[in-house]
Amino acid sequence: MLINGFELVNDDKLTRAKSALGDNASEEAIIAEYDKLGGLILRGNDKVKTGSFYDFKAKQALKEPKIVCVFNVNGKFVDVADGEETPGIVKATKILANKGKVEVEETEEEAVERENAKEVKISRRAKK
């Protein structure tokens, strides 16, 4: 599901977030609840860091999201907040990844989330 330019990848966590909030929840509340559940959020091809929409210390949605994208560069994670200059190495890695010359590694959490999303889609197809 796409909300305000952010893709919420995990359908199961999205369903749980919507159930927790009820039918009249705003898109901002849904994405914050989804973030609270640790769901994978993408902006384009970039992974958005967990906690960009939900404050885990205050245990509430952020009034103003603090978007931070996470990039895996040679096995190291680089956080880049909105408004910050993207490091050259991140730009180069993104260019090469888009050309298919570099395979960008994903975290174990991302791999599990991707596989779970595939399994849900496959099981839904089987039910039809």
pLDDT above 70: percentage of residues in the chain: 84
- Number of domains composing the chain: 1
pLDDT at 97: 74
Confidence label for 102 from pLDDT (cuts 50, 70 and 90): very low
SS3 state at 58: coil
Residue carrying the six token digits 């977030």 = 17
pLDDT at 14: 96
Q: What is the pTM of this model?
A: 0.72
Is the confidence at residue 103, as pLDDT, over 60? no
Is the confidence at residue 90, as pLDDT, over 70? yes
42-60: average pLDDT: 95
Confidence label for 7 from pLDDT (cuts 50, 70 and 90): very high
Structural domain boundaries enclosing 120 = 2-127
Identify whether the C-beta of residue 30 lies closer than 8 Å to the C-beta of residue 18: yes
Q: How far is CA 47 from CA 4, 20, 34, 71, in A?
A: 15, 24, 14, 7
